[in-house]
Amino acid sequence: MRSRIHTWGWETLDFLFPPRCAGCDKWGERYCASCQEQTKIISSSICQVCGEPHPGAISLVCQRCQTTEIFYINLRSWAYFEGPIQKAIHKLKYKRDLGLGEKLALPLVNLLQVNNWDIDLITAVPLDAARKRDRGFNQSLCLARPLAWKTGLPVVASIIKRIRKTKSQVGLSLEERKINVTGAFLAEKKLAKGKSILVIDDVVTTGSTINSCAEALMKAEASKVYGITLARSTRL
Ligand SMILES: [Zn+2]
Ligand SMILES: [Zn+2]
């Protein structure tokens, strides 16, 4: 009897709140086939370090990576930050939707398999206290948790902390972005030491934030750091 009531409860919930596509608002799926088709995936011709697309370039490593100290081994992103995925990420940011996170984590599982990184644990770029207060949760963890379920890797959410306030990176130049996040993070040595760590974020632009997190992790004696994001913005 109890299980019947339970099931009835779920059916009622689904009836009252059927999922809506985060990319186009169509009823039925969390990220529909048509939106998946329209998502522009990043494939060939990328910087081998930071993953930035640079079609037609001769060098395998971009100018920025050649002139900046990079603390992670590789950074990769699934798709360009435009069209339906941009909308879906916006939704993930403002609505704690683990169902959507699970759907969007699937391409990240593939990306991990393709790159064949050897990873001990997953963590996320932390939000600052004010943003966490406003929003109540870290959207990157909505991707990290399903990624962990699917790969069997543990998520250690508390490994990196913000130790000072930063401005939003939106609208800042490359140099300003670097300055804004330099020294902004501290990693817990007893959690990081000797570990190969995957840092996840929803969107990357220049990679300064993930690089700063990687620097903190390496200072805490992590063995290596990789970065993964759902999308990549090519506009500063
Ligand atoms: Zn859709
Ligand atoms: Zn690069």
pLDDT digits (tens, 9 = 90+) for 82-94: 999 999 999 988 8
Domain that holds residue 45: 41-232
Helix (H/G/I), strand (E/B), else coil: 201: strand
CA quadruple 215, 220, 223, 225: dihedral sign = negative
Q: Is 65 within a domain?
A: yes
Answer yes or no: is 14 within a domain.
no
**Greater pLDDT, 14 or 125:** 125
Distance (Å) from CA 173 to ligand 2 centroid: 16
For range 133-158, the mean pLDDT: 88
Asked if the model's pLDDT at residue 97 lies above 60, the reply is: yes
On average, the pLDDT of the chain sits at 88
Residue-level pLDDT at 85? 97
Q: How far apart are CA 1 and CA 11, in angstroms?
A: 15
Is residue 16 in some structural domain?
no
pLDDT at 6: 43
Q: What pLDDT score does 78 carry?
A: 97
Q: Looking at the domain assignment, is residue 129 inside a domain?
A: yes
* pLDDT, position 2: 42
pLDDT at 192: 98
Nearby residues of 63 by Cβ (< 8 Å), 6 or more positions away = none
**186-208 residue pLDDT tens:** 999 999 999 999 999 999 999 99
Residue 125 falls inside a structural domain: yes
More confident residue, 133 or 138: 138
| Domain assignment of residue 32, yes or no | no
In whole angstroms, give the CA distance from residue 145 to residue 19.
Answer: 20
In the reported structure, the alpha carbon of residue 101 is separated from the centroid of ligand 2 by a whole-number distance in angstroms of 27
Q: Are 111 and 228 in contact (CB under 8 A)?
A: yes
Q: Report the pLDDT averaged over residues 68-91.
A: 96
* C-alpha of residue 48 to centroid of ligand 2, in Å: 7
Instruction: Compute, in angstroms, the gap from residue 156 CA to the centroid of ligand 1.
Output: 32
The pLDDT assigned to 148 comes to 93
Q: Which one of the ligands is nearest to 65 CA? A: 2
Tokens of 121: 């644990």
SS3 196: strand
pLDDT at position 84 is 97
Is the Cβ–Cβ distance between 45 and 56 less than 8 Å? Answer: yes
Is residue 24 a part of any domain in this protein? no
pLDDT tens by residue, 5-29: 444 454 455 466 778 899 999 998 8
Q: How far apart are CA 8 and CA 11, in angstroms?
A: 5
Residues in the chain: 236
Nearest ligand to the CA atom of 61: 2
Q: What is the pLDDT of residue 4?
A: 45
User: How many CA atoms does the CB half-sphere of 93 hold within 13 Å?
Assistant: 13
Encoded amino acid at 120, one letter? D
Distance, in Å, from the CA atom of 12 to the CA atom of 31, rounded to the nearest integer, reads 22
Residue 18 lies in a domain: no
* Number of domains the chain contains: 1
For residue 170, give the CATH number of its domain.
Answer: 3.40.50
pTM of the shown model: 0.88
Distance 208 CA to ligand 2 centre (A): 11
**pLDDT at residue number 79:** 97
**Distance (Å, whole) CA 49 – CA 75:** 6
CA of 130 to the centre of ligand 1 (A): 32
Q: Assess whether pLDDT exceeds 60 at residue 104.
A: yes
Q: How confident is the model at residue 58 (pLDDT cuts 50, 70, 90)?
A: low
Task: Please state the rounded mean pLDDT for residues 156-180.
Answer: 86
CA of 61 to the centre of ligand 2 (A): 5
Q: How far is CA 18 from the centre of its chain?
A: 26
For ion ligand 2, residues whose CB falls within 5 Å: 47, 49-50, 62, 65
